[in-house]
Amino acid sequence: MSKRTRKRRHSPPELLRTAGHAIEKAASWIRGRLCRRIRVEVVIVDKPRRQALQRQLAAGLRQLRHILPDQPDIAVLVQQVIPLERQRAGCCEVATQPDGRRLALIRLALEVNGRRLSADEVLAALAEQCLGLARQQAQATAVVPVDLDPGDPPSGGAAARPPDLPPDPLAPYLRPYTAPPTDQAA
């Protein structure tokens, strides 16, 4: 003969307590995910380029989040140029929000001194900003500039040639060959 086992029924207060714990855990997990949300906005007209840059920058930020000590909220704004006193490839502003969380606003430029930056250069500027955030101590705000060499040639044309070097002073001097004169008096 088989014995039937009775399932123990929980009282309503126990059910509410268990459901409350499950809801708290879920809310904590969601809050943690939302707080660490990466927001990337690329402000350009070209839709395919905008979407490609957003994907690349979001992937780069996910890789770089591990070096940030306190996991601040990060917002990335990509624009054609950053209109400051000097054009920069990027800068970062860190602020403490009223609820105590830190917000890092990273601004990246697509063009510096008339030179269009490649996607790799924009990602490098993003990496430099994240490194600056990691080094930054507990301050209310910080601006970390990223400058590129202003002497870089503008891209878009043929590859820039390095300047010609002067001739080697120790090399032998060879005169160009000239044919001997011929007399054509006939």
pLDDT recorded at residue 155: 57
pLDDT recorded at residue 138: 45
Most confident segment among 84-88, 121-125, 168-172, 181-185: 121-125
pLDDT recorded at residue 175: 67
pLDDT digits (tens, 9 = 90+) for 4-52: 666 667 777 787 788 888 888 877 666 655 555 678 889 989 899 889 9
What mean pLDDT comes out for the span 62-70? 70
Residue type, 67: I
What mean pLDDT comes out for the span 83-99? 83
pLDDT recorded at residue 30: 67
Instruction: Locate all alpha helices (DSSP H) within the chain, ordered by sequence.
Output: 12-35, 47-64, 119-135
Percent of the chain with pLDDT over 70: 63
Report residue 87 CA to chain centroid gap: 17
Which pTM was predicted? 0.54
For the structural domain made of 35-135, what CATH number should be given? 3.30.2010
What mean pLDDT comes out for the span 159-178? 66
Q: Domains of the chain: which residue ranges? A: 35-135
Distance, in Å, from the CA atom of 145 to the CA atom of 164, rounded to the nearest integer, reads 34
- Residue 35 tokens read as 């707080």
Distance, in Å, from the CA atom of 72 to the CA atom of 113, rounded to the nearest integer, reads 31
